[in-house]
Homo-oligomer: A and B are copies of this chain.
Amino acid sequence: MQVTIQRREAPVPEPLEIEGQNRLCLEDLAVGRRFSSATHVIDAAQIKAFAGQFDPQPFHLDDETAKGTLFAGLAASGWHTAAITMRLLVESGLPLAGGIVGAGGEINWPKPTRPGDVLRVVSEIEQVTPSRSRPDRGTVRVRSETRNQRDEVVQVLIANLIVPRRATSQVPSELAAG
């Protein structure tokens, strides 16, 4: 499966340089700050390939069979939508120093992702919490909405991420999170 990342045609609210030197530390993140990713076009071949590997259920595997299921047509696995969301966040949607390292969060899929959908991720910082015990880092809670070309939300991810502080300008050296 080839993952194709396309730039959005419409101007993004807050274009950001994604290169290392401009990535953001904890001090750069204020509650309410928003980010927008590039887009990814998902097609039936991608949906079936992911499902064949990780979520082999009829509504993710076969167009005809899917019509008779509760999805009423081929739909992507929610974990596929999550994986594409991660790719968009890593490559363009959330330029954090140290990368995107999550300890966990909440995930919901309000609508199915369909073949032909043009997905992008709009993120907003909800909380910024410096670590009490570790001066080199903190956590941010980020709400990331994955939206299709009709601006419908197909996934909401509220993630708790580890972010380094500028004071040390180093990636945290030890972490239990997966």
Interface positions of A (Cβ within 8 A of B): 1, 3, 50, 53-59, 69-72, 75-79, 81-84, 86-87, 90-91, 98-113, 154-156, 162, 171-178
Contact = CB atoms under 8 A, between A and B. Distances in A.
B70 A83 contact: no
Contact of A107 (B104, B172, B176): B104
Number of copies: 2
A87 B178 contact: no
Contact of A178 (B69, B98, B110): B110
Nearest to A100: B57
A48 to B, nearest CB: 14
Contacts of A84: 54
